[in-house]
Structure 1
Amino acid sequence: MEAHTETTEDASAEPVGRPGLRERKKQRTRDALLRVALELFTTKGYEETTVDEIAEAVDVSQRTFFRYFANKQEAAFAVQEMVEARFVQAVRDRPAHEAPLEALRGAVLGTWEAMGQSIEEVVPVELHMRTYQMIESTPTLVAAHLRRSIEMEDEVARVIAEREGLDLESDPRPRVAVAAFSGVMRITGRQWGAGEDTSPESIRELTEMYLDHLGPALAQGWRTHRPAPAE
């Protein structure tokens, strides 16, 4: 695990003519803390990892850690929060003619590579994948993950309602569509996490396959032959 030497954040130390140097230093420190935290969470365990250990591994003080993260949980969800924010924006940016489920699907699959590149700018995608599995297997984080998912579903439902020109408070369809979509995404994540292939390619294939079944699963008449109604 690479150590990161703490650098002074005194604005007076910035060379003249180099605006933004302090911000770049702060971003490097935050990224180093985040990467080390996720490595420790996924190898040693979330509950077993302390803030002191994270700070010591990056060669900074505990106080420096708390400049960037309120607590360990915030660090655990930092990359996920970035992914969620970009997903919501991707839904907003989908073509206006797309139906709600089509827009949601396009937001996930259409931005997959760009999302991966964004993650790589902060931590390796492989580490993000391991972090997702760690969250799903840590009881205290699962509860927070569910709460965050509910909050994001509400935000996405509002985006869908705006796209469709609907009143979210009187028309349940945006919430129903988003809930169905989110349920498929959660199932995909659990199935992927329980499998042997934990590569980004495998979760993309699984996501696409499960989303292909969303429409048919909501349709009536799954059975080829149904028994006649009882008289």
Structure 2
Amino acid sequence: MDTLGTTGAGPRPGLRERKKQRTRDALLRAAVELFTTRGYDRTTVDEIAAAVDVSQRTFFRHFSGKEEAALALEAMTVAHFVEMVRARPAHEPPMAALSRAVLDGWDRISEVIEAVAPVEVYVRMYRVIESTPVLLAAHLRRSAETEEQIARLIAEREGLDVDTDPRPRVAVAVFSGVLRVTERLWGAQPDAGLEAMRALTSAYLDQVGPALAGDWRSR
């Protein structure tokens, strides 16, 4: 696609957006590198901006603060997961749709992470979040919000009222619980890569009982 104007008026928005995205990615990469080597509390916004040779003002154009930068990789993967759930075939039972979304979309999620930071940095950042109270609290709050979003999405797929039928929230709570268990096990392995995480997730999801894995519409 042609991204340059022919009238001398300068670049079209497509080029500007790509430049903004490159700056954001560079800031995010610098932030997680500093958080994982120096610690979250000992890293300042000025240091993150200086690592990319931009101003503090530029940092705040992309992130509201250190907390958002620290959780940005996770937020990116969650956003892709939600879209993958939304794209699952309508005939799939709820738990199957959730499981296939995360497992079939694993390569895409891996690409999202690795486009910004190496996997080993992502693993270290996960440990920083788990060991930093303010980040862990924010992570848990965001996880609860995501669970509610997905529960409502599942209810919509199944033609249910999420506020009167408990199954969407129960299913999402079980699914999220499995992911939290596998994340912690994976994060405890010093040399674990994303493929090891996928295998662990798949093995644990296989343990979810048929009551939640079945087709609700046939009941």
Q: Same fold (TM over 0.5)?
A: yes
Measured in 2, the distance between the counterparts of 1:196 and 1:77 equals 21
**Structure 1 unpaired stretches of 5+:** 1-14, 220-231
**Structure 2 unpaired stretches of 5+:** 1-7, 214-219
Partner of 2:57: 63
- Cα pair 1:129 1:200 within 8 Å, conserved: no
Structure 1 outlier segments of 4+, above 3 Å: 15-18, 216-219
- Cα pair 1:126 1:200 within 8 Å, conserved: no
1:217 and 1:211, CA in 2 relative to 1: closer, same or farther beyond 3 A? farther
- By relative contact order (CA 8 Å, sep 6+), the higher-ranking structure is 2
Alignment of 1:106-117 (within 5 A): 106-117=100-111
Measured in 2, the distance between the counterparts of 1:68 and 1:218 equals 40
Larger gyration radius, structure 1 or structure 2: 1
Q: Does 1:104 align with 2:90?
A: no
Q: Normalising by structure 1, report the TM-score.
A: 0.83
Q: Does 1:46 align with 2:40?
A: yes
The letter for the 2-side match of 1:210 is: Y
Measured in 2, the distance between the counterparts of 1:34 and 1:123 equals 8
Q: Which has the higher helix share?
A: 2
- Cα pair 2:95 2:212 within 8 Å, conserved: no
The structural deviation recorded for 1:188 is 0.7
Partner of 1:12: none
Partner of 1:18: 11
- Cα pair 1:161 1:168 within 8 Å, conserved: yes
The structural deviation recorded for 1:71 is 0.3
The letter for the 1-side match of 2:11 is: R
Identity %: 64
The structural deviation recorded for 1:46 is 0.7
The structural deviation recorded for 1:213 is 1.3
The letter for the 2-side match of 1:65 is: F
Give the RMSD, CA atoms, in angstroms: 1.9
